[in-house]
């Protein structure tokens, strides 16, 4: 009928108003569903809008409402199912409340994170959910918080930053699972984490990630309670790619006084550790016990199925989004973020350590 060529410009309220023979203001009111509009006008405007396939420009709308109905999510790596699931919880919840999600990956790099936060702020997101790469370098997050922009932290705390934080009680679960290993007879328990540090682990070292330092603390408490010393020499940081993790694993198991149990700090590391163990021809749990954080579905399929520490990741994503949206919508009630607890799921990868001559 009319101009069917792919015309460039979008249809605006002004166009609709003209077609409906009313003022721009009236058209805007009818379309935006606010103010007073007579039935007659509303009908004509809506009909014209339909006819012209009018779609509001959310950008323009955000301009003067100040709300973009968008939240920014900054995570280390969506490729990691842990974050994938959390992100799912966030997006599901956001969508339910009419919010969209802009996602940015940081590769656990603080510089990238600072940049991501800036970009998101420039885009005027209504709020931010961040899984901070560092619990120490947090000035950028502090600035966000001080500027009054809603902010919720996921997975890790930020030292000295009093914001809603959705995370499990890592110290507790770390303590419990370590005690479990100690109870099974293990003394040489290794812990492998990706946390990047300039130097290898040593006692008393300040760890950049609350998640990791809490776990270390939990392990230490468990050892203390058992009247034993935490084997500092078996705590390994800087586990990066598959290759480096396998190297670390080999080292842990082939040293003079080898680890009899290994705890992997996440599912991706766990994968490589198990691979390395298999490559060494060792058997789980006969030769070495294994336990990892993240209850990925595949852990049920290995032989033996793996004992893991399950975190309610999806629910945590939901809670983070809910808390953020609550802040955005300005409910005064802080309505404390629920506490989440991790759970030790005992499958088959932990057993008593192989008895060696040392015991005699």
Partner DNA sequence: CCTAAGATTGAGACCGGACTCACATCGATT
Partner DNA sequence: AATCGATGTGAGTCCGGTCTCAATCTTAGG
Give Dmax (Cα) for the chain.
98
CA distance 88 to 37: 40
6 lies in the binding site for DNA (CB under 7 A): no
Q: Which residue's CB is nearer to its own copies, number 283 or number 346?
A: 283
Residue 56 sits in the site that holds DNA (CB under 7 A) = yes
255 contact choice in its own copies, DNA, none (CB below 5 to 8 Å, kind-dependent): none
Question: Is the four-CA dihedral 350, 356, 359, 360 of positive or negative sign?
Answer: positive
Task: Say what angle helices 39-52 and 13-20 make with each other, to 10 degrees.
Answer: 120
**Contact partner, 40, from DNA, its own copies, none, Cβ < 5-8 Å per class:** DNA
Does residue 64 bind DNA (CB under 7 A)?
yes
**If binding is defined by CB under 7 A, does position 40 make contact with DNA?**
yes
Binding span for DNA by CB under 7 A among 62-70, 71-79, 87-95, 317-325: 62-70
Closest approach of its own copies to the CB of residue 224, in Å: 34
Nearest C-alpha neighbor of 347 from the set 309, 307, 308: 307
Residue 162 touches DNA, criterion: CB under 7 A: no
Half-sphere exposure of 286 (CA within 13 A, CB side): 6
Sheet holding 289-293, edge to edge: 235-236, 189-192, 261-264, 289-293, 307-310, 343-345
Instruction: Choose the one of its own copies, DNA, none that binds residue 37, judging by a C-beta under 5 to 8 angstroms depending on kind.
Output: DNA
* Neighbour-count burial of 174, counting CB atoms closer than 10 A to its CB (0-12 exposed, 13-18 middle, 19+ buried): buried
Question: Which one of its own copies, DNA, none is in contact with 238 (Cβ closer than 5 to 8 A by kind)?
Answer: none
Q: For 300, which DSSP code?
A: G
Applying CB under 8 A, which residues contact its own copies? 6, 8, 55-60, 62-63, 68, 70, 77-81, 84-85, 87-88, 91-92, 95, 100-105, 118-119, 121-124, 146-148, 268, 271, 274-275, 278, 296-298, 300-303
Does position 26 bind DNA by CB under 7 A? yes
Q: Does 38 bind DNA (CB under 7 A)?
A: yes
The alpha carbon of 59 is separated from its chain's Cα centroid by a whole number of angstroms, namely: 28
| Among the listed residues 259, 250, 307, the one whose alpha carbon sits nearest the alpha carbon of residue 281 | 250
Distance between CA atoms of 220 and 206, rounded to whole angstroms? Answer: 14
Contact of residue 183 among DNA, its own copies, none (CB under 5-8 Å per partner type) = none
Quick one: which of 2, 6, 7, 34 contacts DNA (CB under 7 A)? 34
**What's the gap between Cα 31 and its chain centre?**
38
Residue 202 binds which entry of its own copies, DNA, none, with Cβ cut-offs from 5 to 8 Å by kind?
Answer: none
> What are the residues binding DNA (CB under 7 A)?
9-14, 22-26, 28-29, 31-32, 34-41, 54-57, 60-61, 63-65
């Amino acid at each position: 009928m009319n101009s069917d060529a792919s015309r460039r410009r979008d249809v605006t309220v002004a166009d609709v108003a003209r077609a409906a023979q009313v003022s721009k203001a009236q058209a805007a009111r009818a379309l935006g569903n606010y103010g007073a509009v007579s039935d007659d006008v509303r009908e004509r405007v809506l009909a014209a809008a339909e006819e012209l396939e009018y779609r509001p420009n959310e950008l323009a709308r955000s301009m003067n409402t100040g709300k973009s109905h968008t939240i920014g999510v900054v995570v280390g790596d969506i490729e990691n199912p842990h974050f994938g699931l959390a992100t799912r919880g966030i997006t599901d919840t956001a969508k339910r409340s009419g919010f969209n999600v802009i996602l940015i990956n940081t590769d656990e790099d603080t510089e990238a994170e600072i940049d991501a936060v800036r970009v998101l702020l420039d885009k005027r997101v209504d709020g931010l959910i961040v899984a901070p790469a560092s619990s120490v370098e947090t000035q950028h997050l502090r600035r966000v918080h001080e500027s009054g922009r809603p902010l919720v932290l996921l997975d890790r705390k930020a030292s000295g930053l009093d914001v809603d934080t959705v995370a499990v009680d890592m110290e507790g679960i770390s303590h419990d699972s370590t005690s479990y290993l100690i109870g099974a007879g293990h003394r040489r328990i290794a812990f492998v984490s990706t946390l990047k540090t300039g130097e290898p682990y040593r006692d008393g070292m300040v760890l950049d990630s609350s998640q990791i330092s809490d776990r270390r603390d939990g392990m230490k408490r468990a050892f203390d309670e058992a009247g034993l010393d935490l084997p500092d020499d078996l705590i390994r940081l800087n586990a990066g790619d598959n290759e480096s993790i396998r190297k670390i694993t080999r080292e842990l198991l082939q040293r003079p006084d080898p680890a009899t149990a290994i705890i992997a700090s996440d599912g991706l590391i766990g994968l490589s550790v198990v691979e390395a163990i298999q490559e060494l021809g060792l058997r789980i749990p006969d030769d070495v016990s294994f336990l990892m954080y993240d209850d990925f579905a595949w852990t049920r399929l290995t032989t033996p199925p793996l004992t893991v520490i399950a975190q309610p990741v999806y629910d945590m994503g939901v809670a983070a989004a809910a808390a953020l949206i609550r802040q955005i919508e300005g409910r005064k009630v802080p309505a404390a973020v629920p506490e989440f607890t991790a759970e030790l799921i005992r499958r088959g990868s932990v057993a008593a350590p192989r008895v060696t001559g040392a015991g005699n």
